[in-house]
Structure 1
Amino acid sequence: MKRVHKIEHFMNLFGAPKKELPSEDLYFKFKFDNEKLTEYKGNCSSIKLSHKKERVIELCTRVLKYLKTTYAISNYENSDYDVCMILNYWTYNRLNEIYGSKDTSSIYRAFAQIQNIWNDYNDDELKDAPYTKCKPYFDIYKEQDWEKRKELCEYCLDYKTAYTLAGNGKDNYCQKYYKYFEKKVDLYKHFEKYCSTSDNSNCPTFYYKCLEDHPKNFLGKLSCYQEMQKQKEDAAAAQQQAESADGEPHSGLPTGEGSPDSSSLMGVSPRIAKQAGDVFLGVIVTSMTSGALYKFTPLGNMLRNRFGWNNNNMRNFNGGDIRLYDYSAEPFNPYPGEEHYIGYHPA
């Protein structure tokens, strides 16, 4: 246990939050307390895995130690929380940390082997225990929301301590745990869709253990309730005012299409950018029109004759001889000293 305290002290020095809630403290010990783990290594030596075998064996020893110590001394029958189910979710969670959540095949294989050893340990080592044994829960892998179920288990263990801490007068503790309970309200909403209907087959069994301790029941009792409500109202009013000033909701992006356009990135408003684009387009159209009038109309021909610019042999636009140039069909002009013209056939 001394090693656990040293690790916790070291982590606190580097800014890691203190373990204030029971589930945080218990999980920290489950993960880092190495005291007497070797006593259980023989039970876990049968694990056969292609990679990360030693880490899974270590996890297996921690599970067996939890069964013999933490679970054995818990008053599980009279508590609001299920320490057995917490162990199942913590074991599955550790395997996700070891292998990564995407390596599901390795997680399933390791979890199945730990559960077999778990059952054998109950039957052999704990067969004379005077309490109901904690059994492995095999169906976690089927649950798409297993992390939320783990969180609900932890809330049922933590809510009393959280409420006490919120009222102890420390700086910002009330605000901190107001947000904690507010977040758990959303967690309960997630499970209401499974547990509030006649078909509650997907409802966690431990949901009803702390149903009366719904987080919304604590929010109004906190001393900072009015303050936090006012903060929410002020934030909503500021957001609405900002949206009204801009004429459109703030989405975090300058345009409604989900990504910023180039004019917005350069600090130019879309309206000014559009006006500039219209002007530029007008200049291009005007230039093209003027060029066409000058080159291909009688007016242009008259201007060229008037100022002596008609040196391309293109004359009598509406009649007369219009010659094709001797290189008009060639791939290139073999006479680099001469100008290149495009032949024209009147309709």
Structure 2
Amino acid sequence: MPKQAKTIDYLRLFASSSKELISEKFYDVMDNDSLDLSKYNETCNEITVSDPKDRVIIICKKFLNFLENSVVLYDENAEYDVSILLNYWIYDKLIAIYGAKNIEKIRFAFSALQFAWDYYKYTPKNISYHNKCKPNFDVVNHQDWEKRKELYDYYVDYKTLHGTASTISSKCEEYYRIIKKKISLYEYFNKHCSPIKKSCPEFFEKCEPYNPESFIYSLPCHNKITQEFASPEAAKRDHASQEPARQVLQSETSYDTASTPETSEIGTKVGHSVLGVAPVLLISTALYRYTPIGSWIRGIGGNRTNSISYMNGGEMEGFLPNPQESGDMLFGDTGNYISYQPM
């Protein structure tokens, strides 16, 4: 019989994480090394994997612990699939152990974790959740897995990024730059997903509506950031327009003529402005309104006046000015959870 151990409160771990984005919070919780995982010794110590076995055993224990105790984090109607995040977390850890080129060792380790998933006996609180969270090597085994992971992480984090950048001025520039970096990611997958979608991630269609190019110009700090780069970009364009004439002049005189200071690059670099730490109240507001964490934190708060129960309902008016603006709920009953539906 597996050893009895104290139940892990994943809601509290998630709420207490210092990370702001949902995907980052998930990986942060999975990386927690302060948990009592002795309950899973019997199952995970028996797995057969390539050395260093002890490091894979730790992954096994964390995986089983999450599977058994975190069912409340999953809902079939949720906008995103926790099992995909879980598989990417496992794959990332195994690559760190064996290296990206040792695919067979990684595949073997996935098989061992599948065995542990099947062998470990407990009563699932949600059968479909248990079945869905089986380690699946095929989900993550792609040469561009890092880009796929980045895309799915962005999909999970979209509402936090967009909502916070739109409403909290002190965070706008930071999140704007995060969002802007995803433009090249979408260009990559648009190229690989059209017209043949064989090499396209299964979840790409869900991600398509959140292409940054469709909304980044509407963020409050867009004009400020583009103006910061206006002068250097203008200089670069001016330099580019002068380049053909300079090349013609050089070809008419001598190929060995060295360029003069007048023909050197005009462009200059503008440093990124350093953002201050956002006020705690504003950040908290964003977390409550744009992530599932609001309902979880209020669930932890018990029966306090302004708390909202994350499981069995409760007062919402004490915290949100208009509970109905949250729309459909993400985690659990639609009457009891804050929406996490992407805009």
For the aligned pair, the TM-score class normalised by the smaller chain equals 0.5 to 0.7
Tell me what 2:117 maps to.
118
Superposition TM-score, scaled by structure 1 size:
0.59
- Give the C-alpha shift of residue 239 in structure 1: 1.9
Tell me what 2:108 maps to.
109
CA RMSD across the alignment: 3.3
- The 3 A distance-change label for structure 1 pair 32 and 127 is closer
Q: Distance in 1 between matches of 2:259 and 2:161?
A: 52
Give CA deviations for 1:14-37 in whole Å, capped at 9, x if unaligned.
xxxx52111111101101243232
Tell me what 2:78 maps to.
79
Q: Distance in 2 between matches of 1:157 and 1:164?
A: 13
Give CA deviations for 1:37-57 in whole Å, capped at 9, x if unaligned.
222222212223342111100
Give CA deviations for 1:59-80 in whole Å, capped at 9, x if unaligned.
111111221233x112432222
- The 3 A distance-change label for structure 1 pair 113 and 152 is same
SS in 1 for 2:215: helix
Q: Could you tell me whether the CA contact under 8 Å between 2:107 and 2:137 is conserved in 1?
A: no
- Aligned match of 2:176 in 161, 175, 178? 178
Give CA deviations for 1:156-208 in whole Å, capped at 9, x if unaligned.
2111111232134353x2122112111112222222234443x4233222223
Q: Could you tell me whether the CA contact under 8 Å between 1:140 and 1:146 is conserved in 2?
A: no
Q: Could you tell me whether the CA contact under 8 Å between 2:192 and 2:199 is conserved in 1?
A: yes
- Which one scores higher on RCO, CA 8 angstroms, separation ≥ 6? 2
Q: Could you tell me whether the CA contact under 8 Å between 1:80 and 1:156 is conserved in 2?
A: no
Runs (5+) with no aligned partner, structure 2: 1-7, 247-255, 261-343
Structure 2: which amino acid aligns with 1:188?
Y
Q: Distance in 1 between matches of 2:169 and 2:40?
A: 42
Structure 2: which amino acid aligns with 1:26?
F
- The 3 A distance-change label for structure 1 pair 156 and 57 is same
Report the structure number with the largest CA radius of gyration: 1
- The 3 A distance-change label for structure 1 pair 195 and 244 is closer
Tell me what 2:31 maps to.
31
Superposition TM-score, scaled by structure 2 size:
0.60
Tell me what 2:63 maps to.
63
- Give the C-alpha shift of residue 111 in structure 1: 2.5
- The 3 A distance-change label for structure 1 pair 101 and 206 is same
- The 3 A distance-change label for structure 1 pair 112 and 241 is same
SS in 1 for 2:198: coil
Identity percentage over the alignment?
35
Structure 2: which amino acid aligns with 1:183?
K
Give CA deviations for 1:82-140 in whole Å, capped at 9, x if unaligned.
1101101110001112233344443333222122322434xx43566344422222214
Q: Distance in 1 between matches of 2:146 and 2:259?
A: 48
- Give the C-alpha shift of residue 217 in structure 1: 3.1
Q: Could you tell me whether the CA contact under 8 Å between 1:37 and 1:65 is conserved in 2?
A: yes
Q: Could you tell me whether the CA contact under 8 Å between 1:81 and 1:209 is conserved in 2?
A: no
Q: Distance in 2 between matches of 1:69 and 1:33?
A: 16
- The 3 A distance-change label for structure 1 pair 88 and 126 is farther
SS in 2 for 1:78: coil
Q: 5 Å matches for 1:191-202?
A: 191-197=189-195, 199-202=196-199
Structure 1: which amino acid aligns with 2:175?
Y
Residue 230 in structure 1 maps to residue 221 in structure 2: no
Tell me what 2:187 maps to.
189
- The 3 A distance-change label for structure 1 pair 86 and 120 is same
Q: Distance in 1 between matches of 2:157 and 2:54?
A: 32
SS in 2 for 1:41: helix
Q: Distance in 2 between matches of 1:220 and 1:229?
A: 10
- The 3 A distance-change label for structure 1 pair 144 and 103 is same
Q: Could you tell me whether the CA contact under 8 Å between 1:82 and 1:206 is conserved in 2?
A: no
- The 3 A distance-change label for structure 1 pair 164 and 33 is farther
Q: Could you tell me whether the CA contact under 8 Å between 1:115 and 1:136 is conserved in 2?
A: yes
Runs (5+) with no aligned partner, structure 1: 13-17, 250-262, 264-268, 273-347
Q: 5 Å matches for 1:1-347?
A: 19-70=19-70, 72-121=71-120, 124-126=121-123, 129-132=126-129, 133=131, 134-140=133-139, 142-171=141-170, 173-197=171-195, 199-242=196-239, 270=258
Q: Could you tell me whether the CA contact under 8 Å between 2:47 and 2:57 is conserved in 1?
A: yes
Q: Distance in 2 between matches of 1:217 and 1:241?
A: 28
